């Protein structure tokens, strides 16, 4: 039996944005499903979301779903764990999808050395191609980096990063955060930043400048404390906003406002100033 979703928290005092979620993996298939998820999110103060693809089917769906509800935008790419076979057909399709009116990022792409699904060489080749695509399309690059910090930074340096780089579900320590901040990259914090044993991540979250962080759910994964292990959904980003505010010893409304303003700048979204 599937675990029950966490309760919808009290509405944030200022609207925020979930910068990385997977609405299809949350169970959404239709426009009505998407609207229901976004209604729950909005009731918690999460005004908009970016739904992210990990394979071609998900990319097609994300681009389409972003047209069903004005609160939804999309990012498309091929996940590094799915790059074992990444040929001309896949590249052509991704290039077509990034031209969608509501596609706001190339992602998620990068390197994943935790899972043994795609050889590192294939991942790096695909990563380099996605970096080039982001530059050609004039879109931010949304990076998946799991146990591959040094190679991710090296490849970015070798290829030359696009104007905007987002480290989705940032998982590095304070030193990694300092290097990313110095390079001008944006760090996106998921529910992991609220985990009590994530001390290195806590330290990283405290030092990131206000203009260089985002909040995400990566739903249905990485549900914030105290509901770790339950199914995640975009409304749970409100728990992470509160957890991040506590870590940084800042007002909840200030963190929520920074998250919103940064997401609007990074993804070039129209401004929302009220919940």
What are the extents of the domains in the chain? 16-267
CB 230 within 8 A of CB 203: no
CATH of domain 16-267: 3.20.20.140
Residue pLDDT tens, the chain, 275 long: 368 999 999 999 999 999 999 999 999 999 999 999 999 999 999 999 999 999 999 999 999 999 999 999 999 999 999 999 899 999 999 999 999 999 999 999 999 999 999 999 999 999 999 999 999 999 999 999 999 999 999 999 999 999 999 999 999 999 999 999 999 999 999 999 999 999 999 999 999 999 999 999 999 999 999 999 999 999 999 999 999 999 999 999 999 999 999 999 999 999 976 44
3-state DSSP call for residue 108? strand
Dist CA 212 CA 98 (whole Å): 24
Q: Is 20 known to sit in a ligand binding site?
A: yes
Residue 167 pairs in a beta bridge with 143, 187
22 is in an annotated binding site: yes
CA 103 distance to own-chain centroid: 13
Record the pTM.
Answer: 0.96
Cis peptide before 37 (omega within 30 of 0): no
Q: Which residues contact 88 (CB under 8 A, 6 or more apart)?
A: none
Angle, CA 217 vertex, CA 195 and CA 259 arms, to 5°: 95
Do the annotations mark residue 202 as ligand-binding? no
User: What is the CB-side half-sphere exposure of residue 149 using CA atoms within 13 A?
Assistant: 12
* Torsion sign (Cα): 50, 55, 56, 58: negative
- Torsions phi, psi for 139 (to 5 deg): -120, 155
267 closest CA partner among 55, 79, 93, 103: 103
Residues 215 and 254 sit within 8 Å (Cβ to Cβ): no
Residue 168 marked in a binding site: yes
């Amino acid at each position: 039996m599937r675990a029950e979703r966490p309760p919808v928290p009290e509405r944030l005092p200022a609207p925020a944005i979930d910068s990385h979620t997977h609405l299809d993996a949350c169970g959404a298939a239709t426009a009505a499903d998407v609207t229901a998820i976004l209604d729950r999110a909005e009731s918690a103060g999460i005004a908009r979301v970016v739904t992210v693809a990990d394979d071609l089917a998900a990319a097609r769906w994300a681009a389409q779903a972003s047209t069903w509800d004005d609160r939804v935008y999309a990012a498309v790419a091929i996940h590094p764990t799915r790059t074992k076979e990444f040929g001309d057909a896949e590249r052509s399709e991704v290039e077509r999808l990034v031209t969608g009116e509501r596609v706001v990022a190339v992602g998620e792409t990068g390197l994943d050395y935790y899972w043994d699904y795609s050889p590192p060489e294939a991942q790096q080749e695909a990563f380099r191609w996605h970096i080039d695509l982001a530059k050609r399309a004039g879109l931010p690059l949304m990076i998946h980096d799991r146990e591959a910090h040094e190679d991710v930074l090296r490849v970015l340096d070798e290829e030359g990063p696009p104007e905007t780089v987002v480290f989705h579900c940032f998982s590095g320590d304070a030193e990694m955060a300092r290097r990313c901040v110095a390079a001008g990259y944006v760090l996106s914090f998921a529910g992991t930043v609220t985990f009590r044993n994530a001390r290195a991540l806590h330290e990283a979250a405290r030092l990131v400048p206000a203009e260089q962080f985002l909040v995400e759910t990566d739903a249905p994964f990485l549900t914030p404390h105290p509901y770790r292990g339950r199914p995640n959904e975009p409304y749970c980003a409100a728990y992470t906003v509160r957890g991040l505010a506590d870590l940084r010893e800042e007002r909840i409304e200030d963190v929520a406002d920074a998250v919103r303003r940064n997401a609007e700048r990074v993804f070039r979204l129209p401004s929302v100033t009220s919940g």
